[in-house]
Amino acid sequence: MAMWTTFWSYFWGTLTVVPFLGFPLVYLIVYMVKRNKRLAGRWAVNITNFLVIRSAVSAYELIWPEAMSAWWWVSCFFLVTIVLLGWFQVKLKGKLSLKKVGFSAWRLSFLWFGLVYIVLFTTGIIKTMDVV
């Protein structure tokens, strides 16, 4: 039992440090089960998005432990993005589709939090090098 606990803690730790490793893992698993490349790609992007958000939050809390929780920043990002995308959609098309707005916000979060993760990761490395 202790071996499995150790394995899972190392596995999740690795995916927290390198969240983009989740993409090929999820893609291969879903493709082997479903034999559908498009579905496997969608699942891989969605799961990797969760991993990237979690990694960015972990890096933020590791760099600035006394700062406000990073989950507030994540929530604010989604709220502001959904409101802005909804406003643009109403201006352009005259109607609001929450499904499309939510999907677009989710995809934009992949790009945004991927960039935030890379910046925080390099900031953490530089901050750690200053201490040593």
**pLDDT the model gives residue 119:** 95
What does the H/E/C string look like for 22-71? HHHHHHHHHHHHHCCHHHHHHHHHHHHHHHHHHHHHHHHHHHCCCCCCHH
Backbone angles phi, psi at 117, to 5 degrees: -60, -45
**pLDDT the model gives residue 3:** 86
At residue 87, does pLDDT exceed 70?
A: yes
What are the structure tokens assigned to 36, written together? 């559908």
Q: Read off the pLDDT of residues 54-73 as tens digits, 9 standing for 90 and up.
A: 999 999 998 988 989 999 99
Q: Read off the pLDDT of residues 19-56 as tens digits, 9 standing for 90 and up.
A: 999 999 999 999 999 999 999 999 999 999 999 999 99
DSSP summary character for residue 94? S
What pTM was computed for the model? 0.87
